[in-house]
Chains A and B, each alone.
Chain A
């Protein structure tokens, strides 16, 4: 029976069938297929949650190696493991609504999360100030655009110089948005190409068939 599951053709057939189940409901209204597609989506999400177990295992393994080898920052790994273990144990033992679990969330997770995010402002500020150098015409144009948007973003400017708004809005909502769309289209096009290669059997490494793909 193992030949069946190891067969490239069988795996490819399952892949194509699953793809069609998810793809068809976007264009044709077939309730049975729609229901099956919903179930398939839920199954994939549930299976995806098992990745958390692997993530926890990997983090323990990595941190324990850091600690045993006394690598740089090994003390922080002790702190990480202790907190991670306490959070997991409390979550399983008393549940997420218990006062002690909420204390951990409110007193450790929330402040640490805020501090990490807040510190970014200083790095971004410093990086922005040093990166904007008019080394070329393109860089100069970038500086002009950047300063226009920065001036607009400062609330006081809009109150006294509303004339800057059309220029800044043009830069953010037209130039910025079009570049963002270009980025999205590039990703989607790449994803479509990859999927076509997978469905036609040219890209099968993700199924474990290394080196057997066509060109």
Chain B
């Protein structure tokens, strides 16, 4: 039995999917090691998000909601870093509320590692400029309590230290919050919209992962979210706008190449389908009919 002749069209229709894994792996890895620095465009969505950031003034208080697990942080990282750099640089006061148990890891990854030198540079200190409340927004009920009676429902920070005498003394209800900045991997905490945005008209910006974007786009279209940052792509665009290049822009080379590779494989698959698979199946049908 001789070896079957190589048929390119057949290969295109039936290639081993591990080829896609290998090529994608190479195309993601190489630009990370040797960045190309491909130019990128800034979408209207990101420009609007940035305009919302610019409405904040020094001393304004932002509810910083991290409703993401560590895996989602990988996708939101560029947006989280560049948004927080903007907050730090402009003296915006943040109270960070975690919405997921894995949020504990984010505190170390983002504040103690990524932003540490930046916070030191701008003398951004704990207690005076930002406070971590821990897993303070796990559900709608907690959000509702915080929105209607902040001082009654929140008394200590995540380590159990009193928040009295800090900038949080200025907050009585959701009306005293100047903006909500939400980082989420899905529906997030609907309580933010239901009990703060809708009740007090507080503006809310959101950094959302790619697969959950359609839902957030609908919220933005309805005016419930005033700014929306889309996934890693949006984060990298924000890095450009705030002039703070970071992991997002580095990832964009791999992002571009990965997308182009997928298009190439879609084309290859269709050539294989029309050149071989469809013909074989039609021939089979004809044989069966005879």
Contacts and interface: CB of A to CB of B under 8 A. Distances in A.
Query: Is A bound to B?
Result: yes
Interface of A: 38, 41-42, 44-46, 48, 96-97, 102, 105-106, 109-110, 113-114, 116-118, 121-122, 125-126, 128-130, 132-135, 143, 146-147, 150-151, 153-160, 162, 165, 169, 172-173, 176-177, 179-181, 184
B24 A143 contact: no
Contacts of B21: 122, 125-126
Contact of B217 (A129, A133, A176): A176
Most buried by B among A46, A125, A135: A125
Contacts of A109: 70, 102, 105
B270 to A, nearest CB: 6
Contacts of A165: 41, 43
26 contacts: A38-B145, A42-B141, A42-B145, A45-B142, A105-B102, A113-B69, A113-B102, A121-B258, A122-B24, A122-B25, A133-B269, A133-B270, A135-B273, A143-B266, A150-B263, A154-B259, A155-B38, A155-B40, A155-B41, A156-B39, A156-B256, A172-B217, A173-B221, A177-B214, A181-B218, A184-B218
Contact of B70 (A41, A114, A150): A114
Contacts of B41: 155, 158-159, 162, 165
Given A42-B145, A106-B105, A117 B72 contact: yes
Contacts of B265: 125, 129
Interface residues on B, range: 35 or more
A133 B21 CA distance: 19
A154 B260 contact: yes
Contacts of A159: 38-41
Given A97-B159, A159-B40, 18 more contacts: A42-B141, A42-B145, A45-B141, A48-B139, A105-B104, A106-B109, A109-B102, A110-B102, A125-B261, A126-B21, A132-B270, A146-B266, A153-B233, A155-B41, A155-B236, A155-B255, A159-B41, A176-B217
A158 B141 contact: no
Contacts of A158: 40-41, 43
Return the 4 tightest CB-CB contacts between A and B, nearest first. Answer: A158-B41, A117-B71, A45-B141, A155-B40
Secondary structure type dominating chain A contacts: helix
B214 A180 contact: yes
A96 B104 contact: yes
Contacts of B140: 41, 45
A180 B70 CA distance: 26
Contacts of A155: 38-41, 233, 236, 252, 255-256
Contacts of B214: 172, 176-177, 179-180
Interface string B121-162: 000000000000000000111101100100000000011000
A129 B262 contact: yes
A169 B69 CA distance: 29
A150 B255 CA distance: 11
B66 to A, nearest CB: 14
Interface string B106-120: 001100000000000
A121 B24 contact: yes
Contacts of A133: 269-270, 273
B158 A97 contact: yes
A12 B265 CA distance: 58
Contacts of B263: 147, 150-151
A87 B213 CA distance: 33
Given A105-B102, A116-B71, A122-B21, A129 B144 contact: no
